[in-house]
Amino acid sequence: MGLRIGEEAPDFKQNSTEGEISFHDWIGDSWAVLFSHPKDFTPVCTTELGAAARLKPEFDKRNVKLIGLSVDSVDDHKAWSKDIAETQGTAPNFPMLGDEDMKVAKLYDMIHPEASGPAKDRTAADNQTIRSVYVIGPDKKVKLVLTYPMATGRNFAEILRVIDSMQLTAKHQVATPVDWKSGEDCIIVPAVSDEAAKDKFPDGWKTVKPYLRYVKQPQG
C-alpha cells in the first residue's frame, strides 16, 4: 500500500547530483516536492525537468524545495542534464537522486509493474518508476500524492496551485473551491460558526448556503 496523506514521509540517505542527502534534514523547515521519472534520457521527462527548473524561482518564493529521482545513476543524471539544458533552455537546478538500488522508489511505492501493460509484454525495463509526486510539509508529513501514467507529462503549474492552497488553508480556517487560484475568494470551513467568523473575517462574507460561505482570501 502506498503512502497516504497525513503519514510521515519516510526518511532516507541517498546519493544525488548535489552529494549525499539525508532527506528529513535536507527538507529542514521548508516544504518539499519529491517527484520521480521512469528513466533518464526519455522525452517526456526531459520536458518536465526543464519546466521544473524554469519554475524553481516560484517554488523558492513558497519555501518549497524540489528533488527528482529515477532508478538510474547520478552519473547518468549529470549527463542527461546537458541534454535538458540544450533542448529545454535550463538544466535541472535542484538535486536529482540516483536510486539504482530502488531503495527510495520502494519506500515511496514508485514501482508499478502493471503500469507497463500485461505481464507477457513486460521487460526488465519495467523496474522504471512511475510519475509520482509527493508534496511534504515542514512537519515531514505527506500533504499531497499524485500519480501520473507513464506517457502523461505533469502540470507543474497545477502543483504550484495546490501548494498555494495547502499553505493558505494550513494557516487560515478556509478551503479553496474548484479551479481556485491565489488571490481569488475562498470558502469558510463548516467548523467555523457565523459567530466565530465575525471575528476571523471582520469584512464579512457572502452566504450562498449555510454550508457555502465565500470570503476574500485572507492575507498574511
Q: Residue 2 — φ and ψ, nearest 5°?
A: -75, 170
- Count CA atoms closer than 13 A to 7's CA, side-chain side: 12
Taking the C-alpha atoms of residue 174 and residue 165, their distance in angstroms, rounded to an integer, is 9
**For 116-132, what is the mean pLDDT?**
56
Taking the C-alpha atoms of residue 46 and residue 76, their distance in angstroms, rounded to an integer, is 13
pTM of the model: 0.90
Taking the C-alpha atoms of residue 85 and residue 49, their distance in angstroms, rounded to an integer, is 10
For the chain, give the mean pLDDT.
Answer: 92
Span(s) in the chain for CATH 3.30.1020.10: 172-215
pLDDT reading at 203 higher than 80: yes
In the chain, pLDDT over 70 holds for what percent of residues?
91
Q: What is the pLDDT of residue 131?
A: 80
CATH architecture of 172-215: 2-Layer Sandwich (3.30)
Taking the C-alpha atoms of residue 65 and residue 96, their distance in angstroms, rounded to an integer, is 12
Q: What is the pLDDT of residue 121?
A: 46
Fold entry, domain 13-154: Glutaredoxin (3.40.30)
* Residue 186: active-site member: no
Place of cell 501514467: 149
Q: What is the pLDDT of residue 111?
A: 81
Per residue in 41-87, pLDDT tens? 999 999 999 999 999 999 999 999 999 998 899 999 999 999 999 99
Per residue in 162-176, pLDDT tens? 999 999 999 999 999
User: Considering 45, 71, 130, 163, which one is annotated as catalytic?
Assistant: 45
Q: What is the pLDDT of residue 2?
A: 75
Give 208-212 contacts, CB < 8 A, sequence gap 24+. 212/187
Q: Work out whether the CA dihedral 136, 2, 155, 170 comes out positive or negative.
A: negative
Span(s) in the chain for CATH 3.40.30.10: 13-154
Taking the C-alpha atoms of residue 179 and residue 158, their distance in angstroms, rounded to an integer, is 10
